[in-house]
Amino acid sequence: MSSAPPGLRPLTSPPFPLSAPASRRGALRFHHFRTRLLLLMVGLVALVQILTYLLVVRVNRENALARIHENLDLGARFFQQDVDRRVAEFITGARLMSGDYAMRQLFLQPELDRATVRSALLSYSERLRAPVMVLFTPEGRTIADTRGETGSDDAAFRELIARADRQEGDQQASGFAVLSSDRLYVLAVLPLYAPVPEIVAWIGMAFPIDNTVAGDLKKITRLDVTFTLARPDGAGAFPVASTLPPDLAREVARRSDAAEGQSVLQLRKEPFVTTSHRLPLLSAGSARIALQRSLAIELAPSRQIEWSMQIIIPACLAAAALLALGMARGISQPVQALAAHTEHIVGGDFSRRIELARSDELGDLANAFNRMSAGLADRDRVRDLLGKVVSPEIAARLLQSEAVLGGEEREVTILFSDLRNFTGLSERLSPQDVLALLNRYLDRMSAIVEEHHGVVDKFIGDAIMALFGAPVADPDAADHALAAAQAMELALRTLNAELAAEGRPQLAIGIGINTARVVAGNMGSQRRLNYTVIGDGVNVAARLEALTKEASYGTRILVSDSTRLAARAIHPLRAVGGVVIRGRKETVMAFALDSAG
């Protein structure tokens, strides 16, 4: 049999185009989908975790810097307060000394006994815990010095005496100065009064800014402290006291000018937040106090949180990966099952069903797929049954036209064939044998009709009504009908030879062919219809088939003149003259079609 006509697919072919590796491609696609979904979810979790970690690190650093800056400011203020407190203590002690009767008596003597005065100063120095005490005349000359030196470093004291002497009221002054051995001191002066309200001397006191002062300050503020001096000759700054190791203290001294205000210095690759403040000197040169706080130490408590997050983040990523993998499988596996089910549908297998125990959208989709499979199976059963009841072309036409009543006028070639004396033959055979023989004959004949681009319109008992040029238009319909008639006659000979070998009776047929304009379409009722053709041309074909029974024509195939004229090819036609068609006034010119073999 030739391929199925246009408009109706063969029942053995898939309903959709197939490519060989479809299932494998589907598996790869869903593998990639699962991978992308996994990467997406893990990537989102990783992004959130990393951003959170970076935000925590940033906030911790900002908070640590804010705390350090606040502590640095507090440390600078506390240092000044500590200096003021010590100066106040010295001045209080000096006032007690100036009110001492023995000290006053020393100045009432005609001649000052410098040795006695120095001894008194040493005594008061121990009581006041003032390492340096100096006594000056009202004019600023040195009278006595606890260090045993006179006039060596008195310029700073004289500067303070000049400042205090210019003040009204409480005449006292203090400041920073560099005394012997490049050491930084805090100096203070106040007057010594005799019984009369006159200044008889100036008392000067000093205490050094050393490692002890720096250490005490660190204990209170938890800040590293470095005091630096810069020589007047520009040789560079150096530390005079510090809580840092010597090499770091020297580095801070070297960079103290650059750390004006607040900055971050890298010391031994460790960041120190540093603030530097200038100390006004009474002598030449410059001095600074540098306060440092290790950023790493300040961040140490926060680092615990960050280290914990560094452990938590991988754990969260692993959990997210497992969760995402489960979700990806939960989505991709049902979708992959749906895709596999689609491949079965593409292959024409509508019997399979998807079993998804889900109540979500995927479960609804699986149920929809199952309903679609059932619908397609029902459609194919209807189409298969329709293809067996009518020709494939007519079945396709009925399906495409939505099976509505009506028709159209067109030119077709109608072929009628009928078995001769089949009624008498039926009387000699059992009903089962008659049906088997008839089906065997009709199967051979209908196959020949379809091979020649015709369609079997209907079986009328042992008769066949075939159409050429309907429902699909065919410009060679007449040629195909004539060729089909010759082939049917040859096929009958072959069948008769088989029947003779089986001891069964022989068959004979008559064929009538006519070409005419008829109405082709769906005929019948609203509940049941049939695609066929009606018109006078159908009757002419039937009457021509009936005339083949007359021996006078000497042929089994009679063809009308309209078919001869419609044929494009040359066929072995023999004119038999005009024939009378029952029901028509005019005769029809008929031709006998000789056998092809």
Judge whether 450 lies within some domain: yes
pTM strictly above 0.75: no
Q: Do 357 and 467 fall within a single domain?
A: no
- For residue 393, pLDDT over 60 is answered with no
Residue 385 has pLDDT above 60, yes or no: no
Average pLDDT, integer, range 307-317:
81
pLDDT at 526 over 80: no
Both 585 and 515 in one domain: the answer is: yes
Is residue 301, in this structure, part of any structural domain at all? no
Same domain for 514 and 560, yes or no, is: yes
pLDDT at residue 225, as a whole number? 93
Residue 384 to residues 253, 340, 370, 381, 390: CA-CA distances in angstroms? 102, 25, 21, 5, 10
Q: What's the pLDDT score for residue 498? A: 94
Mean pLDDT of all residues in 134-151:
79
Provide the pLDDT confidence category of residue 16 given band limits of 50, 70 and 90: very low
User: Are residue 444 and residue 375 in the same domain, yes or no?
Assistant: no
Q: What is the pLDDT of residue 17?
A: 47
CA distance linking residue 116 with residue 144, whole number of Å = 9
Confidence of residue 399 (pLDDT cuts 50, 70, 90): low
Q: Is 390 within 8 Å of 374 (Cβ atoms)?
A: no
Report whether pLDDT(567) > 50. yes
Last residue of one domain, picked from the residues 359, 389, 419: 389
Does 355 share its domain with 465? no
Considering 339, 366, 389, which residue would you say is the last residue of a domain? 389
Residue 196 within any structural domain of the chain:
no
Full domain range(s) for residue 456: 404-593
356-363: Cβ within 8 A, 24+ apart: 358/334, 362/331, 362/334, 362/335, 362/338
- Same domain membership, residue 451 and residue 352: no
Confidence band for 260, pLDDT divided at 50, 70 and 90: low
**Angle at Cα 239 formed by Cα 236 and Cα 241, nearest 5°?**
160
Domain harbouring 542, CATH code? 3.30.70.1230
Residues 552 and 420 in one domain: yes
d(CA 135, CA 14): 121
SS (HEC) of 337-361 = HHHHHHHHHHCCCCCCCCCCCCCCH
Q: Do 501 and 586 reside in the same domain of the chain? A: yes
User: Across the beta sheet with 142-145, what order do the strands follow?
Assistant: 142-145, 132-136, 199-208, 183-193, 173-179
In this structure, of 240-254, 277-291, 336-350, 579-593, the range with the lowest mean pLDDT score is 336-350
In a domain, residue 258? The reply is no
Between 45-54, 496-505, 557-566, the lowest mean confidence (pLDDT) is in: 45-54
- Output the average pLDDT for the chain: 80
Q: Are residues 446 and 577 in the same domain?
A: yes
476 and 353 both lie in a single domain? no
Over residues 1-14, the pLDDT tens digits come to 344 444 444 444 44
Residues 378, 424, single domain; the answer is no
Mean pLDDT of 267-289: 85
pLDDT in tens, 178-227: 887 678 899 998 888 766 567 888 888 888 899 999 999 999 888 999 99
Rounded percentage of the chain residues whose pLDDT exceeds 90: 22
Q: Do 447 and 574 sit in the same domain of this protein?
A: yes
Whether the per-residue pLDDT at 583 is higher than 90: the answer is: no
